[in-house]
Amino acid sequence: MGARIFIDGQAGTTGLGIAKRLAAIPEIALASLPEEQRKDPAAKADLLRQVDLVILCLPDAAAKETVTLAAGLGNAAPRILDASSAHRVAEGWVYGFPELAEEQGDKIRSATRVSNPGCYATGAIALLRPLVDAGLVSADYPITINAVSGYTGRGRSYISYYESEDAPPFELYALGLEHKHVPEIMTYSRLARRPIFVPSVGKFAQGMLVSIPLFVDELPARPKPADLSAALAAHYAGSPFVRIVPADSAERVEPQALNGSNNLELRVFGNEARGHAVLVAKLDNLGKGASGAAVQNLGLMLGLDVTP
């Protein structure tokens, strides 16, 4: 039996990516509202009663409004997958990163409300959580996270700017050090100390690199780079989407090779003589960082074998 899905906010980059992926799944039927009814609460509530699951691809405030509307439907409310940042650390929501821990996939399967991870957060948490759990990185270690994304990660309002001749080839942003992904990075990496997170954007449409430098000789266990890589490999063993790639010091890592996929690659570069290591995550900010992750979560929630 198929499932009816409503993408609330389908016109955005994440919504379009999800719709494109779902169109190839015969068990899925997409429901929608006419343009003139999209801001009509009564019309939206009526549609919510008719679908199995709603995916929210909205600004945070609008996502919260739809969640409130759904809550008022009682037993007639659909399950919710929120691709905004409104509920990523909210009580009663399951974090939609199936690879987070052994039991996370089962939590997503049974959840009525799932929050899709942020793109930067996906890379950072994927690198940090296994190392914290393994005791190789302490929760209070001073973490610095540097990341670069394609410009589609900044939303529709920025895309036309970055596609113009006036846009710079590269720029840092969020330099007030209050980026909205930091709370989820702390929560799901199990960090006790707030990391410094410096995001940037390049003049390319999509693709992402997240890098985390470590002074390994200042970590309690004094791990070697190989120990860090082995801990990551053990955590993600059997994962269809996360791969640990052996790191070559002569390698140059570019951000776009995984575009169009739901894959995530992790590398550990190291210099044992200096006591230095750099953790690197590569992903598509619109794939595993957004639409691909949403479809992966939807498949778990509905018990469907889908390709994100």
The residues annotated as belonging to the active site are: 119
- What does the angle CA 279 – CA 277 – CA 150 come to, to the nearest 5 degrees? 30
Considering the domain architecture, whether residues 88 and 107 belong to the same structural domain is answered as yes
Considering the domain architecture, whether residues 97 and 67 belong to the same structural domain is answered as yes
Residue 49 lies in a domain: yes
Residue 307 lies in a domain: no
Q: Is the pTM of this model over 0.85?
A: yes
Considering the domain architecture, whether residues 21 and 149 belong to the same structural domain is answered as no
Each residue's pLDDT tens digit, 158-210? 788 888 878 899 999 999 999 999 999 999 999 999 999 999 999 999 999 99
Each residue's pLDDT tens digit, 241-298? 999 999 988 889 999 999 999 999 999 999 999 999 999 999 999 999 999 999 999 9
Considering the domain architecture, whether residues 138 and 158 belong to the same structural domain is answered as yes
CATH number at residue 107: 3.40.50.720
Residue 240 lies in a domain: yes
Amino acid identity at 2: G
Considering the domain architecture, whether residues 159 and 103 belong to the same structural domain is answered as no
Show the DSSP H helices in 51-192 as ranges.
60-71, 104-110, 119-133, 156-162, 182-189
Considering the domain architecture, whether residues 92 and 132 belong to the same structural domain is answered as no
Considering the domain architecture, whether residues 93 and 175 belong to the same structural domain is answered as no
Considering the domain architecture, whether residues 155 and 269 belong to the same structural domain is answered as yes
Domain range for 69 is 3-117+290-302
Residue 81 lies in a domain: yes
